[in-house]
Amino acid sequence: MGGSKLRTVHVVFIGSFACVLVIVGLYLLVIKNSYKEIASLNARYQTAEQKWMQKASVEAKLAAAKMNNRVVTARYEQYLRTKMPSISFQDRTQGMIALWKEQGETLGPLLQSWPAKTGVKLATDVQVPPAPANPNDIDGTFISIPIGAFSVKGDFRTILAHLQSWNGFNRLVQIDPAVLSGTSPRMTAEYTVTVYIFPRGEAGPAIPMAAGTAEAGLGAVPGMAAPVPPPAR
């Protein structure tokens, strides 16, 4: 009888312990994983909610960025129209002809007349170097034209105003720091000038050149005019 009761207790104990194990296992395998998934979903929800709350701000920033891009693009186009000659090397033949005209006919008179327009007297002769003879030698994205030394005369204030006036010149120029000599109102300023041109668009393919064409000049390339000489001073 006593042994039977002991065995019954053991059975009950073992059964209860097994139930505990099942419950613990259920917690570890199901409930705990569910808690983790719920926590992950809550975190994602909070992140999405924060982003949603920022939607209006982000849209406003995007609209401002688009507006700023339009303004900058318009200013750049205006800058090109006022500072850059219409030169493109997408067709290297036509680009070369335009560059000849720029360096042979247009740029010299513009530079020659600018100092007088700003109140100083130009004491040197402007010499614009000729354009290269071979269109394949041209950098279709950037052209640097070294004009050389300028010497202008005037009083101190007029010379300073003249140096600043190059910002309003209708080509993009770089002037090196001027060297001043003499006393006002009879002062002399000496500096060097370089003109920069940024052709529009990408350069087209190179033009096939016959042997000796580069030495002979562009007149040997079919469809091209001869270089335009600088105007007489």
For residue 60, the model assigns a pLDDT of: 84
Q: Is residue 82 part of a domain?
A: no
For residue 57, the model assigns a pLDDT of: 80
Q: Domain containing 195: what range?
A: 88-220
Total residue length of the chain: 233
Q: Are residue 12 and residue 102 in the same domain, yes or no? A: no
Higher pLDDT, 7 or 214: 7
Rounded (to 5) percent helix, strand, coil in the chain: 55, 15, 30
Provide the strand spans (E) within 73-124.
121-122
Q: Is residue 64 part of a domain?
A: no
pLDDT digits over 135-171, tens only?
888 888 899 999 999 999 999 999 999 999 999 999 9
Cis before residue 185, ω within 30 degrees of 0? Answer: yes
* CATH code at position 143: 3.30.70.60
Segment 15-33 shows an average pLDDT of 61
Q: Is residue 45 part of a domain?
A: yes
Q: Is residue 78 part of a domain?
A: no
pLDDT digits over 179-230, tens only?
999 998 999 999 999 999 999 888 888 888 765 554 434 433 333 334 444 4
Provide the strand spans (E) within the chain.
121-122, 143-154, 172-175, 179-183, 186-197
For residue 156, the model assigns a pLDDT of: 95
For residue 227, the model assigns a pLDDT of: 42
For the chain, what is the domain count? 2
Number of helices (H), then strands (E), belonging to the chain: the values are 7, 5
Residue 85's CB: how many other CB atoms inside 10 A?
Answer: 19
Q: Are residue 43 and residue 95 in the same domain, yes or no? A: no
pLDDT band at 64 (very low <50, low <70, confident <90, very high): confident
Q: Is residue 71 part of a domain?
A: no
pLDDT digits over 30-59, tens only?
666 777 788 888 888 888 878 787 778 878
Q: Are residue 100 and residue 48 in the same domain, yes or no? A: no
For residue 95 the two structure tokens come to 């680009």
pTM: 0.62
Are the CB atoms for 221 and 209 separated by under 8 Å? yes
- CA atoms within 13 A of residue 85's CA, in its CB half-sphere: 22
